[in-house]
Structure 1
């Protein structure tokens, strides 16, 4: 007998916030909209297109709800539809922050909007332009007929009259949702990988409330159009990690964690225990260890001087217990980390050689890692490079082009610059945390 497929359906005001390109201000506008409507008492859900870790941290604080990544190639089209429909069932507003320009990438933010039936609201930096704003707006709305672009947000306008000029020049098919002025509150600090992590900004809530106030003054307190979203519900994952405790590093040095990854491990039966390699002295009792990405280069001295934690992790490895180390976790596993100022810091020494910070980006893009239990999809984004005599055991494969990331299997340690999206291959992920020798 064929088991019936359950479905979820919801109706809520929803929009994908995009732009003609990076740097237009869509991240802060999306966060400000989330905080504005949350402050008005609405239930707000926000998603991020693409594999970004940093924007979701800000968006989660702004909305008060977990933020999930949506990327049709990485997360799968069915999951994109399901997460949005599930959110629309309970939320008063659903927002998706796009990546880069609206049509950039394959798949692009526009592809996601068409796939899921989301209207798009482009944010356009209007500084230094007048009627040309209309040309950009019409180009974005007409480029793909199946894409719904009806409202726009003008950002960084010079005066109220400037905003009026932009609105007056638009054709009847388009309208200005709001004109946001240049304002000192409309900024968040950044570093080489993007926005500074939310937990590092002690005044983040004040900043978000200030942004929300600016957007309200600009007329952005109006809700976008309501849409009905429906999708099939996914089958529950197998309980392959039942009874296993996984220690997960989470602090200012290791914070790049997909919420969907944490959810999957828990759904497969694992108990997650979080710890800080910066501040704790020993690992919690656990059968497996996950060292995610982050900013170890910003904390090289503290990581190096925590001798007790380094010894505890090395002992975990000596006992043959599984370790998954992603990007920043890989850097921590090397003998040495050379930071942005050329300072050398002793690390775990589980792999020979050094991770050296560089001035230019060393790896960027969507990747997949082929394992015996499935193909794990994800991405890579790093400024460091490895200097090691150790020959990689395999390489990840780029979604397009050549140049995969090296992957090292040292006993039950799996280490790479590759960040995996666990729901793309649950059985392969479970094998990594169980220590299944077949993955090596």
Structure 2
């Protein structure tokens, strides 16, 4: 069965051009008129999906031809197309950056590309950029180009004129306005839930977009970007490898890097999920295993260091020999000390020996995979801190770039605690995922 739905992939020539703002504004603009909108994020990103979820009112899944795989992407797009009036996919980095790139995803599924270009410091060059993005790769589905951060109506006219013989590519200009700027920090955009005016910012961006050619397109006009998404053959059901197990998951402003698909897999494996907030010093609920996902513990180091109930209950869980899987930000407070950018070390949970130190430079970025006895998990790494520990890694992930393999992130183990900078995408291997939360697993 094939489901048809208007769909658009919002891309740019580089990071920082305003892709997220435009993608979320487009989704919000149509969602608040009553249209059913589903959004996706290209690549392994935790932050942009928060804004897209706020705009649509629905969970936002990641699409990546390597990490999540073509079959998973196809199944999610097919499901969304059967429920939605519009699908918005936000690209990653520049249109052709990465392996695979947003352009690869667009071509694989026939997604028309909307190029968002920060035109604040250009005029005629805007036309060259738009032409290059459209024609660099033959056969790329194309929707048009939107100028962002434009200074004036005169400036907008100059940009439109720069398109020359392709005036139909012009989808409008969004003026520069701090009212809908989305604030950033070292890993990317600030999480939407942290800003009390997040929805107001999205509405302001949607209002600005509503004045453009793109924003004035109704359902009939959007139909020109209709795409057919095919169904996958039914896949065998997952074995309930975690049936009867309860998993406590840290979830708050310090631990917020959670793929919705990871939660879905744990539930499908039979686990009961219980959420708690270390930042609020909530004690660990009774459970069989713990997942400490990534996030921003360095921004909350003082509060986490002062939280004795969360710390003591986690230590008791570890002493009882129950499993813990900690990734990146979830791993950082497990050590004895966390040193934020101010250089003042905070005493943290002391489950693992050593310390984690924040640094100004990016420490690691890119796709990774973790091979365990029960399967191989795909995922990625992205962090600005370094770990200093006497613990010897029990294994390493593999860094995966362009078909090459290299040693990736360390995986530490102490008793039933396993920790790494590696962010795992659980659907890539449900069996390996189950082993992370099972006593004696992933040995």
TM-score exceeds 0.5: yes
TM-score of the superposition, structure 2-length normalised?
A: 0.95
Paired with 1:207 and 1:169, the residues of 2 have a C-alpha distance of 30
| Aligned-residue CA RMSD (Å) | 1.4
TM-score of the superposition, structure 1-length normalised?
A: 0.95
Matching of residue 206 in structure 1 with residue 207 in structure 2 = no
What residue in structure 2 maps to residue 277 of structure 1?
A: 278
What residue in structure 2 maps to residue 236 of structure 1?
A: 237
What residue in structure 2 maps to residue 226 of structure 1?
A: 226
Paired with 1:173 and 1:320, the residues of 2 have a C-alpha distance of 66
1:345 deviates by 1.4
Report the secondary structure of 1:350's partner residue. Answer: coil
1:80–1:116 Cα contact (<8 Å) kept: no
Paired with 2:251 and 2:377, the residues of 1 have a C-alpha distance of 22
1:9 deviates by 2.8
What residue in structure 2 maps to residue 9 of structure 1?
A: 2
What residue in structure 2 maps to residue 38 of structure 1?
A: 31
User: Gaps spanning 5+ residues in structure 1: where?
Assistant: 1-7
What residue in structure 1 maps to residue 178 of structure 2?
A: 184
Paired with 1:22 and 1:353, the residues of 2 have a C-alpha distance of 35
* Aligned equivalent of 1:217, options 197, 211, 226: 211
Report the secondary structure of 2:280's partner residue. Answer: coil
What residue in structure 1 maps to residue 246 of structure 2?
A: 245
| CA 150–303 in structure 1, closer or farther in 2 if over 3 Å, else same | closer
1:149 deviates by 1.5
Paired with 1:119 and 1:182, the residues of 2 have a C-alpha distance of 25
Count of matched residue positions in the alignment of Structure 1 and Structure 2: 432
What residue in structure 2 maps to residue 142 of structure 1?
A: 135
What residue in structure 2 maps to residue 193 of structure 1?
A: 187
What residue in structure 2 maps to residue 48 of structure 1?
A: 41
2:44–2:64 Cα contact (<8 Å) kept: yes
Paired with 1:234 and 1:343, the residues of 2 have a C-alpha distance of 51
Paired with 1:178 and 1:283, the residues of 2 have a C-alpha distance of 51
2:281–2:308 Cα contact (<8 Å) kept: no
1:280 deviates by 3.7
Paired with 1:394 and 1:229, the residues of 2 have a C-alpha distance of 40
What residue in structure 1 maps to residue 422 of structure 2?
A: 418
Matches within 5 A, 1:1-400: 9-170=2-163, 171-172=165-166, 174-221=168-215, 222=217, 224=222, 225-232=225-232, 233-400=234-401
1:145 deviates by 1.3
Deviates more, 1:283-292 or 1:224-233: 224-233
1:152–1:174 Cα contact (<8 Å) kept: no
Paired with 1:28 and 1:102, the residues of 2 have a C-alpha distance of 16
What residue in structure 1 maps to residue 410 of structure 2?
A: 406
Paired with 1:164 and 1:309, the residues of 2 have a C-alpha distance of 58
Paired with 1:415 and 1:94, the residues of 2 have a C-alpha distance of 36
1:27 deviates by 1.0
Deviates more, 1:420-429 or 1:345-354: 345-354
Q: For each residue in 1:275-311, what CA deviation from the matched residue of structure 2 results, as whole angstroms up to 9, or x when unmatched?
A: 0011143111110100000111111111111112111
1:403 deviates by 4.1
User: Gaps spanning 5+ residues in structure 2: where?
Assistant: none
Paired with 1:291 and 1:169, the residues of 2 have a C-alpha distance of 50
